[in-house]
Amino acid sequence: MTPQRQAVLDALAECSGHPTAAEIYARVQQRRPGLAYATVYNALNALVERGLILQLHVDDGASRYDLRTDRHDHVLCVDCGALVDVTAARPGRAAQRAAVESGFIIHGQHTQFYGRCLSCNDDRAGTCKNV
Amino acid sequence: MTPQRQAVLDALAECSGHPTAAEIYARVQQRRPGLAYATVYNALNALVERGLILQLHVDDGASRYDLRTDRHDHVLCVDCGALVDVTAARPGRAAQRAAVESGFIIHGQHTQFYGRCLSCNDDRAGTCKNV
DNA sequence: GTTTTTGCAAAATGTTTGCATTGTA
DNA sequence: TACAATGCAAACATTTTGCAAAAAC
């Protein structure tokens, strides 16, 4: 754990929600100006490999990173892109059935829910603050 | 539905599994040489918008496209990248709990299972044909 | 003293855009 | 005629790579 990686981890902790690499880069600049973009990616990849953070692929944009590493699922607002953690469903039956059906050995699972957040649902005018 | 979009749809149907835009582009070249890469993307986006195909974001690489539009889930081999359809779990309880927990109105859900396919599991030497 | 990491720029990858041209309703 | 789609190149966004210098073990 180098100072740079710690700085990236700190920046991730300070960002609310599930920031992208770009957001983490912007935040980390406040503490360690000049830290290279590539180093942020290096650090993020290293942290993901070590299991200290999660990398999420919620849509076709940039990856988002998540400090929470226990098993949990996510709800995405299709209007504003807000991403919220939710308690994971028990793996149970679904994983077992998927294993039988596919012949795969299954290690994990992640469910992504799609919907509309409270703000986007209340006012259809698009004044949701998360946009 | 233009001839180009039909050609893209045909190419998708001919590709086994869940091809990327690049694979679809390569395949469509056989029928309509010279069809532009951007047109393939245009066509894919138009088809996704119309609900004729699905766009999947399984990892940080290229999007994969899926002819199957009924609700179903996917199993990903973390070694070779093979992606297999499986029957979707009933939405039921999990979605409802996610809605309560997040305050979102939830329209849909997709579960991604992670594991290892039969080939990758049998021989750890990496002779899996899907790689 | 060897191995890993950083920093930088440049490359690779995946996708979209601007715009003139073509085709279609 | 109007409207949308194509084709092309170039732009854009995201992420990785190559390599020299610096730091860590």
Residuewise pLDDT in 10s, chain B (131 residues):
789 999 999 999 998 889 999 999 999 998 888 889 999 999 999 999 999 999 999 988 899 999 999 999 999 998 888 999 999 877 678 899 999 999 999 999 999 999 999 888 876 655 555 54
Of B60, B74, B79, B89, which is closest to residue B17 (Cα–Cα)? B74
Q: Is the CB of B38 under 7 A from strand C?
A: yes
Residue partners of A24: CB distance under 8 A and separation at least 6:
A8, A11, A12, A15, A40, A44, A65
- The predicted pLDDT at position A128 comes to 56
- Cβ of A49 near strand D (under 7 Å)? The reply is no
Chain A residues whose CB is inside 8 A of the B106 CB are 75, 113-115
Residues of chain A contacting B121 with CB distance shorter than 8 Å: 104-105
DSSP state of B27: H
Give the pLDDT confidence score for residue A100 in this predicted structure. Answer: 95
Q: Give chain A's mean pLDDT.
A: 89
Mutate to test the interface with B, among A75, A100, A120 (most CBs of B within 10 A): A75
Cβ-based contacts (< 7 Å) between B 62-101 and strand C:
62-63
The confidence score (pLDDT) of residue B131 equals: 45
Which of these, B63, B73, B77, lies nearest to B109 by C-alpha position? B73
Q: How are beta strands B72-77 and B105-116 bridged, if at all?
A: parallel
What are the helix and strand counts (H, E) for chain B? 5, 5
For chain A, what percent of residues have pLDDT higher than 90?
68
What's residue B124's pLDDT?
60
pLDDT above 80 for A6: yes
pLDDT, residue B17, reads: 85
Q: How confident is the model at residue A131 (pLDDT cuts 50, 70, 90)?
A: very low
Give the residue from B106, B100, B130 showing the smallest Cα distance to B116.
Answer: B130
Q: What is the mean pLDDT of residues A61-81?
A: 92
Please answer yes or no on whether B114 and A110 come within 8 Å at the CB atom.
yes
Tokens encoding A62: 């940039």
Report d(CA A84, CA B8) in Å as an integer: 35
Asked whether B60 and A63 are in contact (CB, 8 A), the reply is yes
Does residue A97 belong to the interface with chain B, where contact is any CB pair within 8 Å? yes
On whether any CB of chain A is under 8 Å from the CB of B89, the answer is yes
Q: Specify the pLDDT at position B11.
A: 94
**Residue B2 CA distance to nucleotide C23 C1' (Å):** 10
Interface check for B51 against chain A (CB to CB < 8 A): the answer is no
* Pairing mode, strands A72-77 and A105-116: parallel
pLDDT score of A130 more than 70: no
Cα–Cα separations (whole angstroms), residue A109 to A3, A42, A48, A126: 32, 25, 17, 33
pTM of the full structure: 0.89
Spatial separation of the C-alpha atoms in residues A33 and A35, rounded to whole Å = 6
Q: pLDDT band at residue A101, thresholds of 50, 70 and 90?
A: very high
Nearest-by-CA chain B residue for A100:
B86
Q: Is residue A66 predicted with pLDDT exceeding 60?
A: yes
Residue with the two structure tokens 């059935």: A97
**Who's near B113: CB < 8 A, 6+ residues apart?**
A95, A98, A99, A102, A104, A106, A108, A109, B73, B74, B75, B76, B86
pLDDT value for B79: 86
Phi and psi torsions of B95, nearest 5° = -65, -40
Q: Determine the Cα–Cα distance for residues A33 and A28; give it in Å rounded to an integer.
A: 7
For residue B123, the model assigns a pLDDT of 65
Which pLDDT score, from 0 to 100, does residue A31 have?
87
pLDDT in tens, A8-49: 999 999 988 899 999 999 999 988 888 899 999 999 999 999
